[in-house]
Structure 1
Amino acid sequence: MRHSPIQIVEVSPRDGLQNEKGFVETADKLALINRLISMGATRIEVASFVNPRRVPQMADAEAIVAGLPEAPGVRFIGLCLNERGVDRAIASRDTGARGLDEAGCVLVSTDGFGIINQGQSVADGIVANTAMLKKAHAAGLFAQVTISAAFGCPYEGHVPPQRVIDLAARMADAGAQEIALADTIGVGVPSQVGDLVGAVIAKIGAIPLRLHLHDTRGLAPANAWAAYQAGCRVFDSALGGLGGCPFAPGAAGNVGTEELVYLFGRSGVATGIDIDAAVDANHWFSQIMGRELPSRVGKAGDFIIKGIRV
């Protein structure tokens, strides 16, 4: 039986590192990006254009963009939380470097988290993201938006599904070329994820839907599979399961790239990522970080018995 392939968006250079207390050197981030390309990643979120006082790990965003490899066929993404961030992402393309391909905007689904994360209510976020998407698109960037805390909020708890569906429709009307749903704190369960993903896909039609999962409670791989069955074909993940949000209490790392590659690969779904290369990259980067990375498949590897892949 043939299954539709998926695309994995690697977020380890940005979301995987933004919560780290010790600064990861620019050269090491660029080396990580090159490793991700070597293992097959074709979309990589490389930096976030945010206030470095709030997220010190992203203080070198422009230097990262300036150091990106040519990498034909690979698309690089810069995260933007406001119009100033979009302006910086656009300006970074004028450094003579290869530049970015996409601007990733963020709309938080609740006032409580939105005010803490971005200093704006949901209503303010709709206005701001509408302007951001328009500006990014006009500058030639693929303009996409993530609806954060779509499955639960660290400050308000339950998020009504209809609100998320309505926000997705508003962003589609505003010109988003891709919409992502983020389980920012890892509270979603498969039935919830499948239902909401299916409902949003039905609402936004031909606009691609992406899913961003955190593995706080160990359900991210199961949630990814539920989303796949509901029609989602694009997933964020981070090498080694790194990550967390500085403004979301209790948020653990992203779903590990190795987890998704193993899950989908053994289910007959192509990912374009080489699992052995991903595990090797995990072990290499664990030395940079000075600790073992959280990904379980990164520790166990593929299913191999006596040197034979099962």
Structure 2
Amino acid sequence: MIQLLTPEYWKDYDLIDCGNFEKLERFGNLILIRPEPQAVWSKALSENEWQKQHHIRFKGRSATSGEWLKKNQSTPDRWHVEYQNPEVSIRLRLGLTSFKHVGVFPEQAVNWDYISSNIKKLKTPQPKFLNLFAYTGAASLIARAAGAEVTHVDSIKQVVTWSNENMQLSGLDNIRWVVEDALKFVKRELKRSNKYNGIILDPPAFGHGPNGEKWKLEDNILEMMLDVVKLLDEQEHFLILNTYSLGFSSVIVENLILNAYPKAKNLETGELYLQATAGSKLPLGVFGKFNNL
């Protein structure tokens, strides 16, 4: 069944409005304006209201980079937010990057909830969790806070360092950090016969490994899925595949999962979206997830 899911518990985040290829959103006590290529409709609030509310606006120099314009120069470049659901809570350090990102993708909170609730259901005394394309580590922190032994894999050393900072900020420890190409890591784990009770993959549309390895979602995702399902513990497992690509639908994700793992149980697919306070739904990727719990 195809579902539409949006975060339920995050008090430190709010999508206020979106439209005209921009979004107005609150992270903690700061309100930002950022580009949003999916917001092809009109804004619900007036331009004056956007100008009045925001603290910082991202102005792009190109499709991939730009600069942040502050209304008040005393506004910090870095600040903290908290996420809490019924099972766990974490803290994250956010920051203004030259790529319009701030260190977290808010719609992913839906997947965090699935991770924590499934880890809590596991009977395995020390469950193992693998986060591939792990970025700044929110999913890793959630899994660790829920009691799992966590392996965090990303190809960019700087974001792994950021993840470690988030771990310490959240009062957690002993996450295994791996700076490596995700596909190479999975193949290495297969040779080691390692198994995991939970896995999340959140691959980019395009990317590069630390040694120049090229990743293109359409070209590499099938190979990745065929390998990664072999890392699942047979007795107790769950898996999430999340994609953010304008060319991918939830039906494609469903086909990928069933092709790689035909015996997947409790399979759910759909779109993640953020509900704007002003009314619009902003779609932000498609997911597929399953478990045998």
When normalised by structure 1's length, the TM-score is: 0.35
When normalised by structure 2's length, the TM-score is: 0.37
More helix by share: 1
More strand by share: 2
